[in-house]
Amino acid sequence: MIYTREISLPVISGHMLIEGDLMYRMVLLFVLLILSGCGIRDERREVSAENTYLQSLEQDIRDVLKDEELFCFNSEIDLIKQMLKRYERGYDTTYFYGIQITDLSKLCDMIAYVSPYDVRLKLQTVSYQKQDAAMDVYEITMEHLDPYYEEARAYAQKTVHEIVTDDMSVHEKAKAIHDFLIAHVTYDQSQLVYRDTASNAFRPYGALLERKAVCSGYARAFMMYARLADIPCLYVSSDTMDHAWNMIYDGTSWLYVDVTWDDAEGRRFDTYLNVPSKEFFADGKHVLDTEKPESFYRRLGNAYFGR
């Protein structure tokens, strides 16, 4: 606990200080120095002790976790970045302190918007205490809801260099991925009648390996390729429309891509390819949900990709 000491001092009129008061002034100055010094030393002692307890407690927690890393996060975006990075390296659990997580569904949604898959999260909290120090450590585990994600990812990694090259611009890469998916994937019309959200048509696997998908499958597959091609890309969904598409960042602005609507029964269009916001929404056919307007996606994308 850091505290400061408040000191009240007598006000002495300058007209009343005469030579006979010299000793009084010296004594008063001496008292002020002692009181001020005590306050500073007490505060520093308290700060030093608290920091020592916290550092000791943190080291004890790291010893308990053994080979697991313990992270400190200041934002949900930092947490998501590290979780996804660790998951790609084969670690499904992340231990951290700093921020408090109260809404797992919100965190799941944010992961779905910045990565090509849906996940389930489990959260546990362990409280540690040592002397005057206390710390809550969170254990968050991420699990794929797509059982065939690894197969889809492997396929995308294998074929991405057949679709894009390093010397292409962002716009050229986006068009190449867009055109490949339209040629490769057929819209799964059966889902319009027998809607089954557990179907692979809603996932990258359906688009890439079964070659049948609905809008979310197209958008997830586009995002998978975009990320492999180093294009900042978001998954955008609208409950109002029951539809999904993508946003990409070209280095100066966010643009929209809707592969599904550009795939018209085997005919390829570029109507919704690399389109600025004003043009994309001008015809009124695309509508975002009120609680997730365009500014929501822009802020999320800028924060996650560091734009």
pLDDT digits (tens, 9 = 90+) for 263-307: 987 678 999 999 999 999 999 999 999 999 999 999 999 999 986
pLDDT digits (tens, 9 = 90+) for 200-231: 999 999 999 999 999 999 999 999 999 999 99
How many other C-beta atoms lie within 10 A of the C-beta of residue 57? 18
Instruction: Choose among 156, 170, 276, 280: nearest CA to 220.
Output: 156
CB of 173 closer than 8 Å to CB of 186? no
Whole-angstrom CA distances from 196 to 178, 192, 295 are: 25, 9, 31
β-sheet bridge partners, residue 130: 133
Residue 283, classed as helix, strand or coil, is: coil
Residues with pLDDT less than 70, the chain: 1-54, 56-57, 266, 307
Token digits for 65?
A: 């976790």
User: First-to-last CA distance in the chain?
Assistant: 39
- Phi and psi based region of residue 93 (left: phi greater than 0; alpha: psi -120 to 50; beta: remaining): beta
Confidence at residue 218, expressed as pLDDT on a 0 to 100 scale: 97
How many other C-beta atoms lie within 10 A of the C-beta of residue 307? 13
Containing 150, the helix (H) or strand (E) segment is helix 149-163
Containing 129, the helix (H) or strand (E) segment is strand 119-130
pTM, two decimals, is 0.78
Confidence at residue 47, expressed as pLDDT on a 0 to 100 scale: 46
Residue 189, classed as helix, strand or coil, is: helix
